[in-house]
Structures are given as structure tokens and as C-alpha cells.
Amino acid sequence: MTITITNIKRIGSDQTESVTIENGTIKGWNLPAEGETIDGQGGTVAPAFTELHAHLREPGQTEKEDLSSGLAAAAAGGYGTVVSMPNTSPVVDDPAIVRSLIQKAQGLGFARLRPAAALTRGQQGEALAELTYLKEAGAAMFTDDGRTNENARTLRLGLETAASLGMVVSVHAEDASLRADGVMNEGAVSEALGLPGNPAAAEAARVARDIEIVAGLHAQGRPARLHIQHLSTARALDLVREAKKRGLSVTCEVCPHHLTLTDEALRSFDAIYKVAPPLRTQADAEHLLEGLRDGSVDCLATDHAPHTRAEKERDLLEAPSGIAYIELAFPLMYTRFGESLGLERIIELMTTAPARVMGWPEPSLEAGAPADLVVLDLETERTVEPATFRSKAKFTPWAGESLKGWPLLTVVDGKVAYRRV
């Protein structure tokens, strides 16, 4: 299968070019057009994005999302690869589930699925899952996300095992006892609203503990790879900075919603703003943004966490946590931070950076590289209309906002996974 995309600019260049794709790889640039020709409408080409943190809800919670809706949404957001979280029903702690998910996703023709598997059986945090078999089945990483690894010894054993397999363990770093019944950031806003708060220290204390576990293993010559998910506080980021200085394999991701929203949003009492970890303060958001700039934050991830509308229309204590916006992650980042971070850094944080965290080959647009790419319209402003989302979660905090940077075309494995052109 051959496709030629014309009228596009490579990121970082002003030149209008064309690219030819054949059998899943980039054949070359500015060759005579072959196969199906697609007009890129002057868009900018980058490698397709990689999402390290999405909840696709299959198996078991398909009323919220399923592989088809979730991977279609990802492709519409410019993503070529998605790592799905294993906190499904049942939990992805069995090699057979990993295999069946990969197989099912392959037939869909949207973004590529790389399922994460549970670190512990049933994500119960006590007994390790069969990490060796899970890796063989195709698991991308191990995580108990959705839960918080209260048992430090089990996490340590998991990090040791994963290290021997060359795999990353990612963690939802939050001390559950400090979080207690908190449903939003603990601070002036939570007290004014009378809502139970979740202190910043719940995250920092857990990050500190996990870093010390990695440091201990490192000292024994076991370079375990710890990835901290959805970092939300300034102090936790400083701890990661120190860990990097110590030469530890500790990486972290930040979510656009923690950069663009603060706990002030909860004054609406709208559970659409309820996320875990919670929206923090403006100072935290600015500190995280600085971390994206200076490299101490490794990559962006959305923590795409769809729920049904009815669940989100409950009160703030009852409603589940999570925002779903994989379709507008790049437009949101580019519109808000295109000037302060720069287009190239944003693209890097969504392409090369997540690949580096995982130890995967770095994406490239050169001839011979896998044909995973996205064409972005950096000019046209479009209103966010949740009704048009591919995701089953058709609501978002940014509904009605005007954003630019929308994907025009996403190619995965040499095939069109999404197109607006």
C-alpha cells in the first residue's frame, strides 16, 4: 500500500514538500507521487504522538470507553501509539488479556495499542503478577495505576523484577493515608468550599519513598526504572529533579490539565474538574511548566480517563475522578503554550520524550523510518465541540474554547488512521 502526502512542511522547516509512504515505512521525501495522493493543505508534519497514559476501559467498562472509541479518539488527537492502563474489569494481570487486547486493536485501524499490565495480581498491591509472562505477551510496562502501591516492599520486588526484564514500572504516586477522603487539592479553596482536601504532601511523601527504593536498588547495581505518572505538585517535581541529579532512572510525566486548570475551577462544584491527583494551585502549574521547559519533566501524558456523563453529574464526593481529552491535547498545549514552550518542545514532549521514557526507538521522519506521522494545522482556530468527539466521553472542561493546532491527518503503520483532509 502506497500513499503520497503532498503540500506539507516538516516541523522546523518552511519548505513545502511531499512524503511517500510504502508498506508501513517512509519511502522518501519529494519523490514522484505514487498511490493514493492526499493534500496536506499546508500542514506541518511531525511523528505521530505517543500517549503513555490512557484509560480505554476495555475489558469490562465499555459504557465509558472501548478500544474502538478510545483508539479512534487517540488517532483523531494525532496519536500513533497508546499505552492503556490495566485498571479494567477484570484487571489486565493475565497474559491472555494482554494478547487479546493487542489482537483486537490491530484490526481496528486506529492508533496502535501497547497495553500496560498490572504490577500486582488484581492490582491488589500485595502479590506480584506474572511479569515475565506479561512481558512475553506484549505488555508495554507494569503499573497499578488507579491504585497507589501502599505496600513498599511489593513495589520494591516489582521494580527488581521489572529491572531484570528491562521494563519500566510506573506509579500513581500518592500516599493513600495522607490523601484520606480528599476530593480536591487541600488549601484555601477546599476550605472555603468545605470539601475534604488532598494535601500536596500526599504526592511528595510518596515520590520521596519511591525514589529511595530506586536509590537502594541502584546502589546494589540494579538500575530499576521508575516512571512517576501525572505529577501535580511543585515539591514532588523538585524531588524528581534531585533524583535525576543522583543519576537514578526516575522519569515523570505531567498532564496538560494540571498545567491549564487549578483548584479554583472546583468553585463551580462541577465534577468534570474532579481528577486524581487533583487540580492544584497556580504556583504548582507554573512550576510544572518550568519543569517542561528545563527538561526535569520527561514527557506529557493526558491520563485520558473517560466516564459516563451521568457519573460526572453526581456530586463531588460521589463522582469518579478523571478528565477525557485525548482528542484535543495537542491543540490545547499548542494554543496555551506554543509561545512559552515553543512548538518543537511540545512536539518533542509528545513524541521522542515518551519513547525515551519507555526505551523505545525514537520516532523519525527520515526515509526508512516507520510511517507513523501526524499532519497538524497550526493556523485555523476551531471551537471545541465535545459532541464531535470520537471518545464516548462527550464532555470536556474546554468545551466552547477556541483552539488551534488540530490534527488534519494521522498515519499509523503506513495507513490512514484519521483524516480531516
Tell me whether residue 151 is annotated as binding. no
Query: What are the residue ranges of helices labelled H in 165-224?
Result: 176-179, 188-193, 200-219
33 vs 193, beta carbon nearer other proteins:
193
Tell me whether residue 94 is annotated as binding. no
127 vs 192, beta carbon nearer other proteins:
192
310 vs 387, beta carbon nearer other proteins:
310
Q: Count other Cβ atoms within 10 Å, centred on residue 329.
A: 25
DSSP 8-20: EEETT---EEEEE
What's the min distance (Å) between Cβ of 252 and Zn ion? 13
Tell me whether residue 257 is annotated as binding. no
- Binding site partner of 172, from Zn ion, other proteins, none, Cβ cut-off 5-8 A by kind: Zn ion
What's the min distance (Å) between Cβ of 312 and other proteins? 8
Is 372 a residue of the active site? no
- The residue ranges that bind other proteins (CB under 8 A) are 180, 187-188, 190-196, 267-270, 309-318
CA angle 210, 306, 167 (to 5 degrees): 35
- The residue ranges that bind Zn ion (CB under 5 A) are 145, 172
243 vs 319, beta carbon nearer other proteins:
319
Task: Report the Cα 313 to chain-centroid distance in Å.
Answer: 25
Q: Which contacts of 57-60 are long-range, i.e. CB under 8 A and separated by 24 or more positions?
A: 57/88, 57/306, 58/84, 58/88, 58/101, 59/88, 59/89, 59/90, 59/97, 59/101, 60/88, 60/89, 60/90
What's the min distance (Å) between Cβ of 391 and Zn ion? 18
What's the min distance (Å) between Cβ of 329 and Zn ion? 16
User: Tell me, what amino acid is at 308?
Assistant: T
Q: How far apart are CA 167 and CA 139, in angstroms?
A: 9
Rg (C-alpha) for the chain, rounded Å, is 21
Task: Find the catalytic residue in 175, 303, 372, 413.
Answer: 303
Tell me whether residue 227 is annotated as binding. no
| Contact predicate 137/118, CB 8 Å | no
- Binding site partner of 127, from other proteins, Zn ion, none, Cβ cut-off 5-8 A by kind: none
Tell me whether residue 93 is annotated as binding. no
Annotated binding site for substrate: 55-57, 87, 307
Which of the residues are catalytic? 303
Annotated binding site for Zn(2+): 53, 55, 145, 172, 230, 303
